[in-house]
Structure 1
Amino acid sequence: MEILSLQNARVKSWVQLQEKKHREKQSKYLVEGIHLVQEALLAGADVEVVAYDRDQGIPAELRNLPDLGRKVEWIGVTEAIIAKISDASTPQPVLGIVRKEQGPWDKLLQNAGRPVIVLDGVQDPGNVGTIIRSADASGAAGVVLGKGCADLYNPKTVRSTMGSLFHLPVIEGDLEELLPQAKERGARLVTTSLEGKAAAFHYDYTGSCWIVIGSEGRGVSPEVTAMVNDAVIIPMPGRAESLNAAMAATILLFEALRQREYSQRSQGGL
């Protein structure tokens, strides 16, 4: 199938997905570029449409992907349509329209030996996407986005995840409802603070540990702070005053990985 007109109704609906209100109304979002479309398809995400530049054809990387039981519609479109739909300054020759899916949040508690990263008001899409990518890379159980965070399905957020969005549970919800339930089921909440009593590298992140990262400007909200069990400080012997949210989260996630997987090996001299 091909669509050649910018005035086509489907094209207009895809263009609307650049805005959050339309992503919510349609319950869909955009993924742009060969890598992200490939990751979505391989992960079995609910991809409705793959639109590709008809002059270039379906990218070779996407032609022979296995059938994962999803009925995907492949549509050739013009370069002008791709440019109109895309949020990127340099549009890619392929993009996907994906239906939103969110599993039950308690799936995060099924991997009690791995940390959950909780974002409280992290507003920068690049930081949110990078944290999801770090959570994926470090083997975290999942990510929770509270109110006030950048939209998970913002094209900039999606691009920053580099496909990790499709690799682990990412849940949006009200932290004042979710965190007490997590604590009731044995989760410990830890955050970073300049008043932290322990250095980040001396804290025990094993077991059911939920790492809370606050907004770039004001940190963790008072409401969430009241629920936190422990606060740690990231040592900074240099002259930098602070780290951004993504850097702080990544440091704690990989310290948790070190404790889970590498501390005994290092003690044994391996």
Structure 2
Amino acid sequence: MSREITGFSNPLVKRIRSLRDKKHRKREGLFLAEGLRILTEAREEGVLPEMLFHAGQAEEHPLAAALIREMEATGGDVIVTSTDILSKISGKDNPQALVGVYRDRLTPLQRIDRHGADIWIAAQSLRDPGNLGTILRTGDAVGAGGLILLDECVDPFSVEAVRASMGALFTQKIVLARWDEFIFWLRQGPGQLIGTSLKATLDYQEPRYQSPAFLLVGNEAQGLPAAYEAECDLLVKMPMMGKADSLNAAVATAVMAYELLNQKRNRRA
């Protein structure tokens, strides 16, 4: 059943609003996702929110109405509220008509099936939530198994990263690991580790990549540490024909991921 909340001082509103802060997300194991598109992507993956906040007019859209009905049928917590309270929860002046509260979606490294996909993406010390969300979208687009976040990365469940992922965090496995944990796990089975570096001499289209391929992307400003580059099975670079000396981390990831995908498609042709 649905219930209504109209007061800004309601304890639940304060609690859910606090999920915009990392420490509260970590403590509660919950995060926020906004908008019909993202929530519908989650529903299509079989993931329903723990709580669903919506302004009454959301029920006029058939996809929103279907989500609300399914939440009510499964005993989920559906809260009807005002756009002003949705704005307070989301931190946006013009909030989406739907806000979902979800359990975090972390997968332990040891539970990853490396044979479950030909492509995996690993990112080291990413700082920008927009880049992280875009890399998740790229992973979804190329059929990657997931994103392995190494060392201290931006929170994948921040409002900004979730928004940038456009629902891809519900299709991609997300792992948090230290570098030493990851490299030990990787070397226990098959998997080609491919790094990108401005110092590489090998063009990214020259090698014939193996599966499963683990694409390793470095920090936006510093790139990969030298010790990490030394662990790579292949170190490649993309040609830079103009004055810029590098690509944005998310763009470079997309270029490499599609090269991996295209090689896989050509082998099957």
TM-score normalised per structure 1: 0.91
Amino acid at match of 2:176: E
- Find out whether 1:154 has 2:141 as its counterpart: no
Aligned residue number for residue 45 of structure 1: 47
Counterparts of 1:1-270 in structure 2, within 5 Å, are 1-45=3-47, 47-54=49-56, 56-57=58-59, 59-65=61-67, 67=70, 71-111=75-115, 114-263=118-267, 265=269
How many aligned residue pairs are there?
A: 265
Q: 1:211 to 1:224 in 2, by over 3 A?
A: same
1:111 counterpart SS class: helix
Cα shift at 1:13: 0.5
Q: CA RMSD in A?
A: 2.1
**What one-letter code is carried by the residue in structure 1 that aligns with 2:217?**
I
Change (3 A) 1:110 1:56: closer
Task: Measure how far apart 1:173 and its partner are.
Answer: 1.7
Q: CA deviation at 1:181?
A: 1.2
Quick one: structure 1 residues 113 and 94, their matched pair in 2 at CA, closer, same or farther if it must change by over 3 Å? Answer: closer
Structure 1 residues 101 and 264, CA gap change in structure 2 (3 angstroms): closer
Contact 2:19 2:32 (C-alpha < 8 Å) held by counterparts: yes
SS in 2 for 1:201: coil
AA in 1 matched with 2:166: M
Q: 1:70 to 1:135 in 2, by over 3 A?
A: farther
Percent pairwise identity? 28
Runs of 4+ in 1 over 3 A off after TM superposition: 55-59, 65-71, 106-110
Q: Quick check: 1:46–1:100 contact (8 Å CA) kept in 2?
A: no
1:137 and 1:70 map into 2 onto residues whose CA distance is 31
CA distance in 1 between counterparts of 2:66 and 2:180 reads 45
Give the Å deviation of 1:191: 0.7
> What secondary structure, in the 3-state scheme, does the structure 2 residue paired with 1:184 have?
coil
Distance 1:188 1:13 in 2: 44
Spell out, residue by residue over 1:207-249, the C-alpha distance to the aligned partner (whole angstroms, 9 max, x if none). 1221110011111134433422221011122332210100110
Shift of 1:107: 4.6
1:102 shift after superposition = 2.4
Partner of 1:268: none
Unaligned 5+ runs, structure 1: 266-270
Deviation at 1:55, TM superposition (A): 5.0
Normalising by structure 2, we get a TM-score of: 0.91
CA distance in 2, matches of 1:218, 1:109: 30
- Cα distance change, pair 13–156 in 1 and its aligned pair in 2 (3 A): same
